[in-house]
């Protein structure tokens, strides 16, 4: 039967893809703009990177633009980046304006084109800790977490993990609830300050765990911002740069076999 053959090739291809993900250079949690930009920069440089995204559609908060008016604003300094991704934009005296669906799909396309894998419908429900450092993520199907099903998860090893889960900083919160880390909470809206804050504070919060995007504001008490996305992209680029400087070709994996 043709239908059975279709099922077989899907399963074989999926498991072939997933087999390559058990030992990653970088596991990124959340396929929002910062996670996608980080994945693009890391994979472009040959690193083995996967994004785990609990929703069906990657893209995070990009799609909805401002209150569902599906346009987003990006600072002019990212014009070269938009050109690199072949993204169409309009210029105003101060900003670049991009169709949100066009921008989300460009980030998804280019991150996967250079070799990053996106595991959608996969939720990170815990981190793997080894010798006082984060060494991977504990994953389950997205609907399992949403529906509260009693199904045990599995573990993926990663030399570095990025919390790109946006406003709730879900990965950092896992360490906070165990008393291993402290965090503040996001401050009220101020786009100008927030865009600078998020980039300046992007970095490692716990051995092996980095934060990018809006999770940075939640961890350090930075202001939130609306549908302006330059800070998110720059934060993703910065986290990639910081991790790349640690992932030297000669460096052995900082994590043991699990």
Closest distance of CB 204 from ligand 48F, Å: 17
Closest distance of CB 57 from ligand 48F, Å: 8
| Cβ density class 45-79: b for 16+ within 10 Å, e for less | eebbbbbbbbeeebbbbbbebeeeebebbbbeebe
Closer residue to ligand 48F in complex, CB, 6/241? 241
Closest distance of CB 5 from ligand 48F, Å: 32
Closer residue to ligand 48F in complex, CB, 62/82? 62
Instruction: Provide the 3-class DSSP secondary structure of residue 171.
Output: helix
Q: How far apart are CA 228 and CA 35, in angstroms?
A: 16
Contact 55, 78 (CB under 8 A): no
Closer residue to ligand 48F in complex, CB, 52/206? 52
Closest distance of CB 50 from ligand 48F, Å: 11
Closer residue to ligand 48F in complex, CB, 7/185? 185
Q: Note the residues at the interface with ligand 48F (CB under 6 A).
A: 29-35, 52-55, 60-62, 123-124, 164-166, 170, 213-215, 224-225, 227-229, 232
Contact 111, 34 (CB under 8 A): no
| Cβ density class 169-183: b for 16+ within 10 Å, e for less | bbbbbbbeeeeeeeb
Closest distance of CB 156 from ligand 48F, Å: 12
Q: Extract the tokens encoding 43.
A: 């994979």
Closest distance of CB 34 from ligand 48F, Å: 3
Q: How far apart are CA 70 and CA 232, in angstroms?
A: 17
Closest distance of CB 117 from ligand 48F, Å: 14
**Per DSSP, what are the bridge partners of residue 128?**
136
Q: How far apart are CA 220 and CA 237, in angstroms?
A: 19
Pairing type for strands 49-53 and 23-29 reads parallel
Closer residue to ligand 48F in complex, CB, 98/131? 98
Q: How far apart are CA 31 and CA 50, in angstroms?
A: 10
- End-to-end CA, the chain: 41
Closer residue to ligand 48F in complex, CB, 159/212? 212
Closer residue to ligand 48F in complex, CB, 12/192? 192
């Amino acid at each position: 039967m043709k239908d059975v053959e279709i099922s077989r090739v899907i399963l074989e291809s999926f498991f072939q893809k997933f087999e390559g993900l058990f030992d990653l250079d970088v596991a990124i949690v959340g396929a929002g703009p910062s996670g996608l930009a980080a994945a693009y920069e890391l994979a472009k440089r040959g690193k083995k990177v996967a994004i785990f995204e609990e929703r069906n559609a990657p893209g995070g908060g990009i799609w909805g633009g401002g209150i569902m008016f599906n346009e987003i604003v990006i600072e002019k300094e990212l014009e070269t980046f938009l050109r690199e991704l072949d993204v169409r934009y309009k210029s105003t005296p101060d900003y670049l304006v991009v169709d949100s669906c066009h921008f989300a799909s460009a980030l998804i396309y280019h991150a996967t084109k250079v070799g990053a894998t996106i595991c959608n419908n996969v939720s990170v429900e815990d981190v793997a800790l080894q010798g006082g450092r984060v060494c991977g993520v504990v994953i389950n199907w997205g609907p399992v977490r949403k529906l509260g099903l009693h199904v045990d998860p599995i573990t993926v090893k990663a030399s570095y993990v990025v919390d790109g889960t946006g406003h709730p900083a879900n990965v950092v919160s896992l360490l906070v609830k165990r008393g291993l880390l402290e965090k503040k909470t996001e401050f009220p809206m101020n786009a100008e300050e927030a865009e600078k804050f998020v980039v300046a504070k992007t970095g490692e919060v716990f051995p092996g765990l980095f934060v990018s995007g809006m999770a940075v504001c939640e961890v350090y008490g930075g202001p939130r911002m609306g549908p302006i996305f330059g800070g998110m992209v720059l934060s993703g680029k910065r986290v990639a740069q910081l991790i790349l400087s640690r992932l030297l070709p000669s460096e052995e994996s900082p994590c043991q076999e699990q």
